[in-house]
Amino acid sequence: MLDNRFHSSLRSTRRTDPPRRDIDVATGILIGLRGYSEREAFDELVRATHRTGAGISAVARSLIAIAGGHRDAGPVYDAALDLWGHALTGRAVYS
């Protein structure tokens, strides 16, 4: 039952909230990269926000930039690169 409410909430949020799109794309990247479920991927993003002290949207945008092969300046990007760069560097998975 909780999973159904979680997925329903995600679907309704995706239609209305542009930052949520970044979170969804980053979640999808982690699903493809790590073979996670949607929940596991989201939980990894949340753990990254705790490690970096940045908001989840900023962490998600940094992961998207890394996966797309884009460089970005700033501490959030650098922290995301430390977390995921080894798995993504040199292979653009999102553009």
Q: What is the DSSP string of 26-83?
A: HHHHHHHHH---HHHHHHHHHHHHHHH-S-HHHHHHHHHHHHTT----SHHHHHHHHH
User: What's the pLDDT at 58?
Assistant: 94
Report how far residue 78's alpha carbon sits from residue 74's, in angstroms, rounded to the nearest whole number: 6
- Tokens standing for 42? 């989201």
pTM of the model: 0.74
> How distant, in Å, are the alpha carbons of 1, 50 from that of 45?
23, 9
Q: Report which residue type is found at 17.
A: D
pLDDT per residue over 29-66, tens digit each?
Answer: 999 999 999 999 999 999 999 999 999 999 999 999 99
